[in-house]
Structures are given as C-alpha cells and as structure tokens.
Structure 1
Amino acid sequence: VGLRSCIAEGAVIEDSLLMGADYYETDADRELLAAKGSVPIGIGKNTHIKRAIIDKNARIGDNVKIINSDNVLEAARETEGYFIKSGIVTVIKDALIPSGSII
C-alpha cells in the first residue's frame, strides 16, 4: 500500500499493489466530487480488488470488483482506465473506475 492511499471501509484488497497518490484531496474536495457524482482518489466502499496493480491517483468507486473473474489473460482497455497482462489487472495512473464496475 503506497503513500497517501485512501481505502474506504469494507474494501477487500488481496495479492495486489497500490501505488498510492501524489497528493491528498481535502474533505472539501471530496465533498465537491461527491456532489458532482464523481469519485475521489482512492478505493471506494465495499470494493474488492484481487491480483491487481493500482497506479497512482486512481479513482475507484464504491462496490467495484477488480477480480478478473473470467480469467482474461490479455486485454487492452486503456480507454476504460485499465489493461490486463498475464491475467493481472492494471489500473492506469489517474484512471477513473466508476462505482459498480466489474473487471
């Protein structure tokens, strides 16, 4: 777990690497993002991450599953904020994974 990582309650992280963040968001920033329907930097509530690399400043919403349940070995989904190599999901730097997403 990297510097300035924010992990919400109920999140489960297994066999993964979190790079952290370059900066903290203030409580006011986080409230403003929530009011806009956006996602703050970090890992949202009740999110499950397994065998993944989460790069810096990633915004992962609530109830997200990054578990590669279909055992995909290779996938190029950079426009969606991630890719899969050798079965390991990598969420790219500054990516936004919306709440409820399943990867």
Structure 2
Amino acid sequence: MGADYYETEADKRFLAAKGSVPIGIGRNSHIKRAIVDKNARIGENVKIINSDNVQEAARETQGYFIKSGIVTVIKDALIPSGTVI
C-alpha cells in the first residue's frame, strides 16, 4: 500500500471531524490474504479476511473485488469503519 500524497495530523483530524477516514489502515483492523492498492482508506475495526471463502465477487462500487479468493481493495477506495469482508 502506498499513497500519492501525505495527510498531516491536521488533515486527519479534519477528516475525522466530518466522519471520513484518512489514508491508510485504521486501528484494530485485520487484513488477511488481500491486496490494498494505493490511496485506500480503511476505517477502524475493519476485517478483510474473506471468512466465507468467496472465490469471485465484483464489488467495485463498494471499493473491492475478489478473484481466486484474494480480496483486492481498489485504488482510492473507502472502506468504512466496522466493515467485514
């Protein structure tokens, strides 16, 4: 995972105040067998673990897809806090 730009602590506080998520992976999030593209925003307490062992899914409007059981979080995606994939 990488980013095209840097968000300062002030930027992060501003985003949190308006209910958004800063670039990166939030606290208490668990990611297993996944690819996270750049500029992704993953909230707190997110689980990207594919516990249902889904092999193929097209969920680009939700910020991800699954191919051969591997979850890929797409570029610039926003995965809200508390999401389970």
Task: Tell me whether the two structures share a fold, i.e. TM-score over 0.5.
Answer: yes
Question: Which residue of the partner structure matches residue 31 of structure 2?
Answer: 49
Aligned-residue CA RMSD (Å): 0.5
Task: Work out the number of aligned pairs and report it.
Answer: 85
Question: Which residue of the partner structure matches residue 3 of structure 2?
Answer: 21
Q: Aligned-pair distance for 1:22?
A: 1.1
Structure 2 length-normalised TM = 0.98
Q: Aligned-pair distance for 1:30?
A: 0.4
Which consecutive segments of 4 or more residues in structure 1 shift more than 6 A?
Answer: none
Alpha-carbon distance in 2 for matches of 1:84, 1:67: 11
- Could you list the runs of 5+ residues in structure 1 that have no partner in the other structure? 1-18
Question: Which residue of the partner structure matches residue 59 of structure 1?
Answer: 41
Q: Which has the higher contact order (CA 8 A, sep 6+)?
A: 2
Question: Which residue of the partner structure matches residue 13 of structure 2?
Answer: 31
Structure 1 length-normalised TM = 0.81
